Amino acid sequence: MAKSDLGIDLGTATFVVYQQGKGIILEEPSVVAIDKDKKSILAIGHEAKNMVGKTPAQIQIVRPVQDGVITDPKIIEEVLRFFIQKAKSGGFSMYKPRLIIGIPALTTDVERRAVKEAGSRIGASKVFLISEPLAAAIGSEINITEPDGHMVIDIGGGTTDLAVLSLGGCVISETIKIAGEAMDEEIMKYVKRRYKFLIGETTSERLKIDIGKAHSHEENLEMEVKGQNIKTGLPSTLKLTSDDIYYALKPILNEIINKIKNILEKTPPELAADIMNNGLIVVGGGARLRGLAKLISEQTGVRTYIPEDPHLTCARGTGILLEDVELLNKVQVN
């Protein structure tokens, strides 16, 4: 019987699902549309994301994971059920899956217990939880069980997790509520302030992904966006450049870099020496910003590496753990 064990990254911006033997099978925005009158879920993922900013009063758009915190375990249960149904519709067996779920570093014991119970209720044979920064490190092919220091910076949607890892655990870790969504917010504010022009959250995110840059020397691209001219109050278009996004994001990136420096200063000398040798590893959706590795490397003096598809490293880590029970037992969150 084909296995249907799943590794799931419950990210603030994106839900990613890994199926044992197949790899990444699902990548959906962490957005849910709810009918407030009927108290039922209308849409999850891309379908719900397409409704953002366009819904009537009775439809509410929610993010079940906000700023690294699970806001509603009941909705998470429906999301997990949605993933398993999608998996079965993809031709998987009726075998009761094991679930390995990557959870935000800030989740409380109560939230963790609620996620485990939700997994059991939807038919999982066993539910394991792992901290997202640790899963991302494993997914970046770091051997975290060695007495060798590594630093992982996970720039997600709601939070940036910074962790110094050695011997299968976090020696130092911190979380700041400055990440992808804060970047989108800053882009909207910058465009409003500089051009007296209003754009929405989805447009702001697209600007960041398509033409955004973290370093001034990266190529300057252009993009035309639709929005509202504040002076006339009418719908209009505006051409923006990578330089606009660079200046909008500069304060946010400076805060993240200051926090990286702060963690490096707190790191014990032996581990700091390892990090100098191994370099910094940046993962998460925010790591896709052009020139980010160059900027961090210049500002910290430490070589910085961004793995391929950095937003998928946590899910890939859960996939590796599906195959390595011994490692899973060492790193799971109890």
CATH number of the domain to which 116 belongs: 3.30.420.40
| Structural domains counted in the chain | 3
Q: Where residue 85 falls among pLDDT bands split at 50, 70, 90?
A: confident
- The predicted pLDDT at position 1 comes to 38
Average pLDDT over residues 26-45: 91
User: CA nearest 318: which of 133, 65, 72, 149?
Assistant: 133
pLDDT digits (tens, 9 = 90+) for 105-122: 778 899 889 899 999 998
CB 217 within 8 A of CB 291: yes
Question: Which residue segment(s) compose the domain that 172 sits in?
Answer: 144-178+262-307
Residue 254 domain flag = no
Reply yes or no on whether the pLDDT at 54 is more than 50. Answer: yes
Same domain assignment for residues 234 and 244: yes
pLDDT digits (tens, 9 = 90+) for 177-225: 999 999 999 999 999 999 999 999 989 999 999 999 999 999 999 999 9
Task: For residue 230, give both structure tokens.
Answer: 């504040």
Average pLDDT over residues 261-279: 96
d(C-alpha 330, C-alpha 334), whole Å: 10
- The predicted pLDDT at position 90 comes to 59
- The predicted pLDDT at position 42 comes to 92
Give rounded-to-5 percent helix, strand, coil for the chain: 40, 30, 30
Reply yes or no on whether the pLDDT at 93 is more than 70. Answer: no
Percentage of the residues of the chain whose pLDDT score is greater than 70: 97
Same domain assignment for residues 168 and 72: no
- The predicted pLDDT at position 334 comes to 79
Reply yes or no on whether the pLDDT at 22 is more than 80. Answer: yes
The structure's pTM equals 0.90
d(C-alpha 186, C-alpha 193), whole Å: 10
Q: What contacts 101, CB < 8 A, 6 or more positions away?
A: 7, 8, 10, 80, 115, 119, 127, 128, 129, 130, 318
d(C-alpha 329, C-alpha 147), whole Å: 18
> With b meaning 16 or more CB within 10 Å and e meaning fewer, what string describes 135-150?
bbbbbbebebbeebbb
Task: For residue 259, give both structure tokens.
Answer: 């926090």
Question: 212 or 54, which is more confident?
Answer: 212
Starting at the edge strand that comes first in sequence, how are the strands of the sheet with 6-10 ordered?
23-29, 14-19, 6-10, 98-103, 126-131
- The predicted pLDDT at position 87 comes to 76
Same domain assignment for residues 224 and 238: yes
Q: Where residue 2 falls among pLDDT bands split at 50, 70, 90?
A: very low
Same domain assignment for residues 18 and 83: yes
Same domain assignment for residues 10 and 155: no
Task: For residue 107, give both structure tokens.
Answer: 């989740």
- The predicted pLDDT at position 256 comes to 97
Residue 62 domain flag = no
- The predicted pLDDT at position 314 comes to 95
d(C-alpha 143, C-alpha 235), whole Å: 53
